[in-house]
A and B are shown apart, each in its own frame.
Chain A
């Protein structure tokens, strides 16, 4: 392969990595999904992260300025992957993909991102298309 071809291919790869088709402001989850996420949150997460998602004994804040500063510019896929890899802290990875996706939806809802007509996907790679932006 010629170096020019490599450069062109590299250009497209970097384009696709950076080409977010949507942001969290585009209505990427449904009200019902966030409601399911709330139920899972209360059962699995609340004891550490607190009632208002403001953090607690050993759990960081999942809503508000501090949280958004940390996640600004990352993707919904990043958030989904991190939660699936590390949570619940005593049994990481053992909720279903649907539950993890619902939890991301609930976190987005508490951070006041708008609801939309379609649920968040359960596939991390698909969720990489959705960029977390603290401000619209």
Chain B
């Protein structure tokens, strides 16, 4: 009896230990950045952009001060003014890319002192590149002192550097280099056709690489380089696998490329940051649109795996599951943000989930093991196209939950109505365009007397590469979005310049008094575009930029706040005299990072196709429970990269890249005194 009791007790403690171990494993699955470090671009492999650090909290955040600045001005041929970088922090050292040449820097995380720099002159290969913008690096360690930094160069080479000194690792590829233009099923890949703006991701011992190509509004050809996904052994650089984002002959999905369009169509890369689950060994790939952002007559069919969230086994490249978010994309609503991995509880059931925020303001949520939607995603009928040669998918997927986080589609009710006169003008402007719900097709100018289709969100609206951040302790997702519309049309391509048949074209009408704003915010860059609304004002009702908190356990929106205050040119606009402009926000996306209690939300600018009055130099710090502003700090420029945080010598730092028109980029580090 005694023996049995002892056995039972021992069994109990064993099973308790097992449960605790399981709990610890589960809890460790997605916990954001660990040990006060920031080992991945997005904090952790799941791109949570979360750290549980809380030395800086609501009680003391007002004491936050800039403690060092690191200037990128002299890196690259000309200064960088749009530095989208987020550094890594490992063992007290920050690692990041800087300048248009994408030099690699190691900097003391406590002081900002430069420790080493790696500069690669790629000659002609690097002179003209698909994407000059850079977001950062990947890191790998064998845990025994072999620590590596992985760089994708502007000329599209994968380079492994010794993290201690920045010297290329001889045993990786060829003297530390892998030519990523090889193996893309094209005889010639010209410099500048393909590159990457986001870093690679390392999962276990595999480094996975996406790609970025030139914008495809008016491509010179329907022929382009495909943006295949590749996996390499991080120790040797040996290529392990290629995933064909354009299904090739005999492969699943090949029949979604009619007329053998899979043979010549390119793009379909993954230019946003990638995410991974280290426990499952899976990598999550956000795939972009195929060649021709706005015309798909040369690639009829659903075009797998374009615009799909694809889950691959990171070691073999085998497809585990996929879900196409836009069939036959002709709106340039490609997946522009990293998938966000988080463990949630829905109806009492624990789910390892992946949430994907999109340009068209949806949040698609899946079980990341199986690919099953957490809430039903309905295929709903959408209108056909009148463009010659074009054929739309008859349906598109609509998540039933969570609700969209920004306006979708345009009706007259969406137009500004600050005064009856402004509303009247807005209606007159809008009536030049084809209006309609989400997935209204583009038109050829002068179809039914309309100049173009008014897209909302447009292809640079909604969420984009800054994506969202998630609190893994609560399952609450934070997403920044831009309420931006654009009149867009497709017009016959000049055969001397393009074999596309039709290409995308801006479609601004004559009934508009749009022009540059009377006075722009001093801290903002010169607007790349003007408003189309009355008297240079936005056409669509505010907020023009917003932050939304979504509980992924229930799928409910918890709160939504405007991204800062209205731009000065709107506040000072004669037509806006006496009008309440609270909660209008700046027309830009905040760059979000979450800690134990705070949501760091610098106003940000973060896309070169920015609206007037975007940007703003305030680092806004919100209560993550309510969205209420706790404190704001003026930075020397606007945030251009997602912030990150870490702890060194018992001191928590917040680091963010900033720049402004005419102000070369720099890193700003903030800490308590």
Contact = CB atoms under 8 A, between A and B. Distances in A.
Chain A contact residues, majority secondary structure: loop
Given A63-B497, A64-B494, A90-B661, A54 B218 contact: yes
B78 interface: yes
A65 B81 CA distance: 32
Contacts of A65: 494
B460 interface: yes
A46 B214 contact: yes
Contact of B609 (A43, A57, A63, A110): A57
A16 B459 CA distance: 46
Interface string B108-133: 00000000000000000001100110
Contacts of B504: 55
Interface stretch (B429-437, B523-531, B546-554): B523-531
Interface residues of A, number: 30
Interface string A77-97: 000000000100111101000
Contacts of A73: none
A58 interface: yes
B634 to A, nearest CB: 21
A54 B131 contact: no
B425 to A, nearest CB: 23
Interface string B197-216: 00000000000000000110
Interface in B477-506: 493-494, 496-498, 503-506
Chain B contact residues, majority secondary structure: loop
Contacts of B192: 42, 46
A64 B494 CA distance: 7
B534 interface: no
A64 B503 CA distance: 12
Nearest to A53: B497
Nearest to A95: B78
A47 B132 contact: yes
Interface in B594-624: 607-610
A47 B215 contact: yes
B460 A91 contact: no
B540 to A, nearest CB: 18
Contact of B505 (A66, A89, A94): A66
A60 interface: yes
A61 B504 CA distance: 10
B219 interface: yes
10 contacts: A47-B215, A50-B218, A55-B505, A55-B506, A56-B218, A57-B459, A58-B528, A58-B610, A91-B78, A91-B81
Interface of B: 78-79, 81-82, 127-128, 131-132, 192, 214-215, 217-220, 459-460, 493-494, 496-498, 503-506, 525-526, 528-529, 607-610, 659, 661-662
